[in-house]
Structure 1
Amino acid sequence: MAKPNFQNLHVYKLSEKLADEIWTIVSKWDKFAKDTIGKQIVRAADSIGANIAEGSGRYNFQDNRRFVRIARASLYETRHWLRRAYTRNILTVEQVNRLIPIIDELSPKLNAYLNSIGNIPEKPTDN
C-alpha cells in the first residue's frame, strides 16, 4: 500500500518529530502537570500534523490551505504551552534546547507550504 502524499512532506515529518518529542517529555511529568499543561500541549502539537494530513485529503486547494492555517495556529498554541511549561519550571533548559530547533525549522516551512498550495505553474502552450 502506497503512502499518502502528506507522509512524504518534510513539513509533516517535522510536525511528527515535534509531537513525538513533546510526548516523550510530557510522559515523564507528574500527574498534575500532565493533567493541566501536558494534555493541552500534546493535543496542540498532535494537531499540527493532523491538520496537514486532513488538508491534503481535501478536494480543492482552498480547503487544504484552510487546514494548513489551522496547523499553523496549533503550532502557535504549542509555543504558548511550551512557554507556560518553561515559566512554571516544568520544562528544563535542555528540553527547550531540543524543541526550539524543530520549531524554528517547522514554522517557516509551514508558511512556505501554505504559500505553495494552489500555486501550480501553468503548463506552456504550444503555438
Structure 2
Amino acid sequence: MNRPDFEDLEIYKLAENLANVIWNIVKKWDNFAKDTVGKQIVRSADSICANIAEGRGRYNDRENRHFIKIARGSLYETISWLRLAYVRKLLQDEDVTNFKPILDKLLPKLNAYLKSIGNRN
C-alpha cells in the first residue's frame, strides 16, 4: 500500500505539528486540568488532522470540502480552548510562542485549500 497523499499537504503537516505541540503542553498539566480542558483541547486539535486526512481520502470534492469545513470548525474550537487555557494560567508564554505561529499559518492555508477544492475542474 502506498503512503497516503494527505501527508504531503502543508495544511496537514501544520495541523499535525499543532496537535503534537498541544499534546506536549497538556501532558505536563495536573490531573484536574488534563481531565477538563486538556482532554478537550487535545481532541479538538487531533480532529483537525483527522478531518483533513478523511476528506482527502474521499476522492470527491464535495465530501472533501465537508471534512475540511469540519477541520476548520475544530481549529476554531482549539483556538477557543487555548484562549481559556491561557486565561486560566495553564499556558506559559513559551507555550504560546510555540503554537501561535502555527495557528497564524494554518487558518489562512486551510481556507485557501477549501477554496481551491471548490475551484478544481
Give the Cα separation in 2 of the matches to 1:3 and 1:108: 26
Give the drift of 1:57: 1.1
Secondary structure of 1:113's aligned partner: helix
Give the drift of 1:97: 1.3
Q: Which protein is richer in helix relative to its size?
A: 2
- Please show how residues 75-90 of structure 1 align to structure 2 within 5 Å: 75-90=75-90
- Please show how residues 42-81 of structure 1 align to structure 2 within 5 Å: 42-81=42-81
The higher radius of gyration belongs to: 1
Unmatched runs of 5 consecutive residues or more in structure 2: none
Equivalent residue letter for 1:68: I
Give the drift of 1:93: 1.1
Counterpart residue number, 2:100? 100
Residue 80 (structure 2) pairs with residue 111 (structure 1): no
Give the Cα separation in 2 of the matches to 1:75 and 1:66: 14
Counterpart residue number, 1:6? 6
Counterpart residue number, 2:20? 20
Give the Cα separation in 1 of the matches to 2:87 and 2:71: 24
Deviations 1:12-54 (A, max 9, x none): 0000000000000000000000000000000000000100000
Give the drift of 1:96: 0.8
C-alpha RMSD of the superposition? 1.0
TM-score calculated relative to the size of structure 1? 0.92
Equivalent residue letter for 1:29: W
Give the Cα separation in 1 of the matches to 2:46 and 2:20: 8
Equivalent residue letter for 1:39: K
Secondary structure of 1:101's aligned partner: helix
TM-score calculated relative to the size of structure 2? 0.96
Give the Cα separation in 2 of the matches to 1:84 and 1:12: 25
Equivalent residue letter for 1:58: R
